[in-house]
Amino acid sequence: MILTITPNPALDVTYHLQRVHWGDVNRVEAVSETAGGKGVNVARVLHQLGEPVTCTGFLGGETGERLRGLLTGVEQRWVAVSAPTRRTTAVVDSTGTTLFNEPGAPVPDEAWTRLRTLATDLVGDGDVVVASGSMPPGTSEAAVTSLVTTVVKRGAHVVVDTSGPLLRAAARAGATLVKPNHHELRAATGRDDVLAGARVLLGDGAGCVVVSRAEAGLLAVVRQDTDADDPLRTWHARPGSVVRGNPTGAGDAAVAALARALHRSDRPLPDIVAAQLADAVALSAAAVAKPVAGEVDLAFYRRARSAVVMSGPDDR
């Protein structure tokens, strides 16, 4: 099974207006709500693909209950916390979208313990755990390390898509695959060069680094057990054409594709990445083609797959 963890989910609220007057008073014409958070998006994409998936993370308050009610069809096993789940507010008018992300509330250690226990109960050999999105304020490296270590010990794969020192902590704890975007990679490693940055995370202990680079597609770097001086293999996968739409959720679709690939195959990691990176790019493009984050255009996905331009592996 695939378990997605959203440590800091959000009730995504959208304010619709004809035209925002910045610095002034605006009457919102319509308000809509969706279940948000990167791990929630990954779960929704997997569900849309017909893949069995369970959603967890920390949920609280009325906002949390609303999120739960909006996430129809997906198996949910949230860890209850007392602080209300945060909101994001997207302001959409005819000129574009401005997004405001609330930071969320800190999560007590005992809730992290309950999350680890839940993960231990649910997953075993060959399962995949995805931890995606921002962490609650004040999350310690120890909490992330402990979660990743626990899951790895169960024999499951761990895919982590977060940022900053906690991304490094996940890599050090032995995450199977980490997926920063190029900005997050630079911020976490201090390296301007993508390959140099990926090398840092592999040095930390990650099995594979997949870097999402917007229209430039995905770059994957995998360690291989050889005696070569630099035992890394690298692939690029680019979409066949530039897709217009909503890029929010594109990275989550890529993560969903990679999690599915890990779940379906017991081949070595380099082989899985080589075989499935193009698929991840196509699913990512199919997410851009849909206006709502966490949804993919399945017809577009099928068409896009054959158009992806794959290069590599480059032995470096």
Which residue ranges make up the site for a second copy (CB under 8 A)?
15, 17, 20-31, 61-63, 84, 89, 91, 95-103
Residue type at 278 in one-letter notation: A
CB atoms < 10 A from the CB of 264, how many? 13
Contact 284, 257 (CB under 8 A): yes
Judged by beta carbon, residue 101 or residue 120, the one nearer a second copy is 101
Left (φ > 0), alpha (ψ -120 to 50) or beta: where does 129 sit? Answer: beta
Residue 220, beta-bridge partner list: 210, 235
Residue 26: CB minimum distance to a second copy, A: 5
Contact 179, 212 (CB under 8 A): yes
Judged by beta carbon, residue 205 or residue 247, the one nearer a second copy is 247
Contact 128, 156 (CB under 8 A): yes
Residue 233, beta-bridge partner list: 222, 315
Residue 10: CB minimum distance to a second copy, A: 11
Report the distance separating Cα 107 and Cα 127, nearest Å.
26
Contact 11, 107 (CB under 8 A): no
10 Å CB burial of residue 266 (0-12, 13-18, 19+) is exposed
* DSSP secondary structure string for all residues of 129-190: EEEESPPPTT--HHHHHHHHHHHHHTT-EEEEE--THHHHHHHHTT-SEE--BHHHHHHHH-
Query: Which one, of 68, 92, 78, lies nearest residue 13 by Cα?
Result: 92
